Amino acid sequence: LYRVTLPRCSEVGKFLCFTGTVIRASMVKMLECERIYVCGKCGHSVLVKADFEQYNLLAKPTSCPFETGMNGERCGSAKFAALEDPDRAPKCRDYQELKVQEQIQRLAVGTIPRSMPLVLEDDLVDVCKAGDDVTIAGVVMMRWRPCSVGTRCDLETGIRVNHVRVNNLQRSNVNLTDDMRRDFFRFWRDHARHPLSARNHI
């Protein structure tokens, strides 16, 4: 589960945790994560969610899956239009991308550090900046651009992050001296029989 090197393509779909250094952080954006399309033939609505593996593409449905009439036949129409409802606000979420590099001091001598893009969503955005040492937990996933005839597929391995911990902030904000440590243990030792009263005193 935990590692000091970035995952590889063979580990797609696995939940991993690793430590690295942020070398680039994008601006926080608003990402539309859902959109409703309406069939031009039968009028049914189809909810489409952003596809992470296609760079959050909100693609139109290829055919209408709903049944029309009593004989159970599918509509099958390929004509769709995005629903425009002034009373319904679009569903969006905060979105940010980072690039994290392996820490040189943790690698073997002569090894070139690799880098990998990370995707942060919702309350995880804007918690770190370039230069921070972070511990990341997330799922390794593949992303690709739309394919076209005669061109190579553009594939990219990335991580959809579930948790971020900034390690350098912990080191800078916590500065305990020996006297403070002794006072802390002495206080709780003296109030061992009444911990709630000690908490209220603090």
Report the C-alpha gap between 122 and 120 in whole angstroms. 7
Residue 110 — left, alpha, or beta (φ > 0 → left; ψ -120 to 50 → alpha)? left
Report the alpha-carbon angle 100-16-93, nearest 5: 65
pLDDT at position 155: 82
Pull the structure tokens for residue 119.
């995707």
pLDDT at position 131: 85
Among 37, 38, 40, 39, CA closest to 49? 37
Encode the chain (202 residues) as per-residue pLDDT tens digits.
777 777 888 888 888 888 888 998 889 888 888 888 888 878 788 888 888 888 888 888 888 877 776 566 777 777 888 887 767 777 888 899 999 988 887 777 777 888 889 999 988 888 888 888 888 889 988 888 877 788 887 888 888 999 988 887 555 445 667 788 888 888 888 888 888 888 888 7
Bridge-based pairing of strands 2-3 and 80-82 is unpaired
pLDDT at position 172: 47
Report the C-alpha gap between 124 and 162 in whole angstroms. 8
pLDDT at position 120: 92
